[in-house]
Amino acid sequence: MKDLGQRVLDGEQRAIAKMITLSENNSPEAAREMKVLHPASGRAQIIGITGVMGAGKSTLVSELAMEYRKMGKTVGIIAIDPTSPFTGGALLGDRIRMTKLTEDEGIFIRSMGTRGMLGGLTSAVYDVVEIMDAAGKDIIMVETVGVGQAEVDIIKIADTTVVVLVPGLGDSIQAIKAGIMEIADIYVVNKADRPGFDRIMAEIESLVDLTTEAGKRSIPIIPTVAKTGEGIAELRASVDEHLELLNGTNEFQANRRRRYEAELIEIIRKRLMNLIFDESIFKERIEGLIDQIEAKEKDPYSAAEEILSQVLK
């Protein structure tokens, strides 16, 4: 039997799934096999899809995946779900909806919870992108729910970020104002079949007009009806156009560098946190320090310095 890493490089679906699970569980085997994958990564085109819950992101991702399959490209999909506070498990909805895609060998889908990183992308997402990339997926789509830090984190790994908006949601413009706007390479106005479509189109158009600097690329706005596949071909063309732009300016390579930077920082952060908070020798020390902080015998900064000086010595 070949090693797991080698089987991932061969694009074996079951090996990819196992590798992702190992990496989510921070297993030492994952760390070993990830080293085998790195030389083969960095080729995939990464598309981030973000927007509020219910905007139709999963539907859009499924349709876009089928569009890329028609062109003979292989696709990896990472759906980042809000974590249930009660079970810590990812919601199953997306996965069920996507089952029609799972019979296709050219598509690999993985749902991940957001557990682990307060509001941010689950830390394993960098590994999962690296795994799918090394496994030879041409396109990797990362779907994330429109709340908080995850949206901002996604630009660290996406070549093209698609922000999905819908009519009839009073909060769409607010969501844009809250920071989604800066990360959009393409706007999609989905549910173009619904009332309020003209209004939101006009809102986004004037927003784009207002924010586009003279002589600069203005962010495309693509209307879609994801449910029927309408506008998907146009979206695909717009994503590819953006990729060409990136390639023309070496931005694609700069994105790889940003992604590896995020991955490196994440690995170090994870290892340090594990070392400090999981090792039993430190656990007792930390409990003792918290007692002292509570009793005002020590302040948190001095306590942190004590722990760090032990780790770094």
Ligand X SMILES: Nc1nc2c(ncn2[C@@H]2O[C@H](COP(=O)(O)OP(=O)(O)O)[C@@H](O)[C@H]2O)c(=O)[nH]1
**Interacting residues toward Mg ion by CB under 5 A:** 57-58, 94
**Closer to ligand X at the Cβ: 9 or 221?**
221
- Provide the β-strand partners of residue 46: 140
CB-nearest residue to ligand X? 56
> Is the Cβ of residue 54 or residue 288 nearer to ligand X in the bound state?
54
Q: Using the rule CB under 6 A, which residue among 59, 123, 161, 255 binds ligand X? A: 59
Whose Cβ is closer to Mg ion: residue 33's or residue 94's?
94
| Residue 55: C-alpha distances to residues 44, 147, 183, 187 (Å) | 26, 13, 17, 12
For the window 207-246, what string marks contact with ligand X as x by the rule CB under 6 A?
------------------xxx-------------------
- State which H helix or E strand residue 107 sits in: strand 107-113
Tell me whether residue 255 is exposed, middle or buried, using C-beta atoms within 10 angstroms of its C-beta: 0 to 12, 13 to 18, 19 or more: buried
Provide the minimum distance between the beta carbon of 72 and ligand X in the complex, in angstroms, as a whole number: 25
| Least Cβ distance, residue 122 to Mg ion (angstroms) | 15
Residue from 50, 58, 111, 123 that binds ligand X (CB under 6 A)? 58
10 Å CB burial of residue 153 (0-12, 13-18, 19+) is: buried
Segment interacting with ligand X (CB under 6 A) among 13-21, 55-63, 111-119, 235-243? 55-63
57 is an interface residue for ligand X by CB under 6 A: yes
Q: What are phi and psi of 265, to 5 degrees?
A: -60, -40
Query: Measured between alpha carbons, how far is 184 from 189 in angstroms, rounded to an integer?
Result: 13
Question: Long-range contacts made by residues 303-309, C-beta under 8 angstroms, separation at least 24?
Answer: 307/276, 307/282
43 binds ligand X (CB under 6 A): no
Query: Smallest distance, Å, CB 225 to ligand X?
Result: 4
Cβ nearer to Mg ion, comparing 30 with 188 = 188
Query: d(Cα 303, Cα 200) in Å, to the nearest integer?
Result: 52
Phi, psi for 205 (deg, rounded to 5): -60, -45
Q: What, of ligand X, Mg ion, none, does residue 77 touch, CB below 5 to 8 Å by kind?
A: none
Calpha distance 219→239 (Å, rounded): 11
Q: Which is nearer to ligand X, 55 or 180 (CB)?
A: 55
In SS3 terms, 258-269 reads as HHHHHHHHHHHH
| By the rule CB under 6 A, 191 interacts with ligand X | yes
Chain centre distance of CA 262: 12
Rounded to whole angstroms, the Cα distance separating 16 from 11 reads 7
The pattern of x and - marking residues 101 through 130 that bind ligand X according to CB under 6 A reads: ------------------------------
Rounded to whole angstroms, how far apart are CA atoms 6 and 23?
A: 16
Closest approach of Mg ion to the CB of residue 104, in Å:
19
**Of 194 and 199, CB closest to ligand X:** 194
We find the least distance from the C-beta atom of residue 180 to ligand X, in angstroms, to be 14
- Among 10, 25, 27, 54, which residue sits at the site for ligand X (rule: CB under 6 A)? 54
